[in-house]
Amino acid sequence: AFTDLSGVHQVQGTWMGSTTLPCTYVPSEAFTQQTLSWSLDRDHSTSTIFRRDDSGDHVLLSRFRDRVSVPKHSPGNASLLIENLEIPDSGHYTCRVTWRSENNSLITKEVTTTVKVIKVAVTKPVIRVGELGLTVPAGARTSLTCVASGSPPISYRWFRSTPAGKALLLSSQAELVWDNVLPSDTGKYYCEAENR
C-alpha cells in the first residue's frame, strides 16, 4: 500500500468568508504520519504557516493565528481551513506530509492548491422589517428576531427605549428571548445591524 496525497488545483474564497484546502490520504498501517505542514508561496517567497509534529500543532505566521486549523482526530485528513479570508491570503499553498514506513524509511509527498480570494460587492446591512406591533399574553415565551442582508459578518444589537428617551442595550444577539413575558416588558424595542 503506497500512500498518496489528494487535493485540488484551485480554490476560490470570498473576502471575510472561509475556505477549506483539501489534502487527504488513505491511512495505512504500514505508514505512520510523522509531520504535516502547510506553506504559502506568494510573491516568490515561501513561508510555512502551519506545522503538526510530535509536539503538537503550531501556527508559524502571526497573521494566520486563530484563522487556520487542520482537523484533529480524523486520520488521513490534513485539509487546511482558513477563516476570515483577507485579500493577501491569495497564493499557492502546499500541503506536505511525511510518513515513516515499517522499515523506518521516510516518505514525503506534497500537493499544491492555488487560492484566489475575491471581493464581493460590499453592501450595508438592510434589516428586513417584521411585524410592527406584537401582542403577547403575559407568561408566554416569546422572541424577536432581527434579520439583515448585506456583506458578512453582520452583528446585531437589541435595544429598548426608556421613558427618558435613552436606549437600553438588551442583547448582542440576533434574537431577543423572553421565557416568561411580563406586563412590565411592554414597550418599544429596536434592533441595530452592523457590518464592516
Per-residue pLDDT of the chain (196 residues; tens, 9 = 90+): 567 899 999 999 988 889 999 999 999 888 999 999 999 998 888 999 999 999 999 999 999 999 999 999 888 999 999 999 999 999 999 999 999 998 999 999 999 999 999 987 778 888 887 777 888 899 999 988 898 888 778 899 999 998 888 889 999 999 999 999 999 999 999 999 998 7
Task: Sort 23 into a burial class: Cβ within 10 Å, 0-12 / 13-18 / 19+.
Answer: buried
Task: Say what the pLDDT of residue 49 is.
Answer: 96
Task: Say what the pLDDT of residue 2 is.
Answer: 63
Q: DSSP secondary-structure letter at 180?
A: S
Task: Say what the pLDDT of residue 129 is.
Answer: 73
Alpha-carbon gap, residue 196 to 194, rounded angstroms: 7
The HSE-up count of residue 140 (CA atoms within 13 Å, CB side) is 8
Task: Say what the pLDDT of residue 163 is.
Answer: 83
Task: Sort 117 into a burial class: Cβ within 10 Å, 0-12 / 13-18 / 19+.
Answer: buried
Domains in the chain, CATH or no CATH each: 6-118 (2.60.40.10), 126-195 (2.60.40.10)
